[in-house]
Amino acid sequence: MQYYTERHRHTCGVDLHGRNLFLCVLDQDREIVLHRRIDCDEEKVMRVLAPYREDLVIGVECMFKWYWLSDLCDENGIPFVLGHALEMKAVHGRKSGNDRLDAERIARLLESGMFPVAYVYPKKMRSTRDVMRRRSFMVNQRSALITHIQVTNLQYNLPELGKISKPENREGIIDQFEDPSVRASVEADMAVIDIFDVVIARLERTIIKAARGHDGHAFALLKSVYGIGDVI
């Protein structure tokens, strides 16, 4: 694990939430010079931090809403450090439930050189990564439905279905189940699976187009490796 070890005149720890955040700024003597909660408003954040802008670094624990704060720091030339959530928990223990203390702990970890660093994904590629994650989520949901059909088939000791992840192998599945309630359950699974097929295919087209836009040469180079296709 890599740790942030650079020293700065001012060190700011941010406990970030959905609509607000708690700031804790330390000076070179490790004394708290700012400790307050404000809204997640870019102008307010920059106004409050203005007196400490000289050689300032900002650290925040990785959570779903760090994008805007990272971009704000980048636009204003402020070093931004993203903390690895699991490693931070290992270093400072469980969260206290007190936002004020959490912001101070983040600031002191950052100032002490014990702040575990997570990767700040490039702004231009974040949306592509997010849509890839969404695709993965939906693939997992579809797999769960397929598994449920397979398990139901085994539960009633019916002939093996085969690889029903492929649409062409799903014909006649419902006809294997005689009980009306079981048929209704499998029909529901099949209906949602069919929808997932369409949505996932659409997402994959979007991802491939975006990947080519980021670096078409690298995309083609990866696909030249045997066994690597569009999805991988």
pLDDT tens per residue, range 29-64: 999 999 999 999 999 999 999 999 999 999 999 988
217 CB-contact burial (10 Å; exposed 0-12 / middle 13-18 / buried 19+): exposed
Residue type, 196: F
Residue type, 117: V
Residue type, 15: D
Per-residue pLDDT, 62: 93
Is residue 174 within 8 A of residue 187, CB to CB? The reply is: yes
Global pTM? Answer: 0.85
Place of tokens 């295919």: 201
* Regions of the chain short of the pLDDT cut 70: 90-97
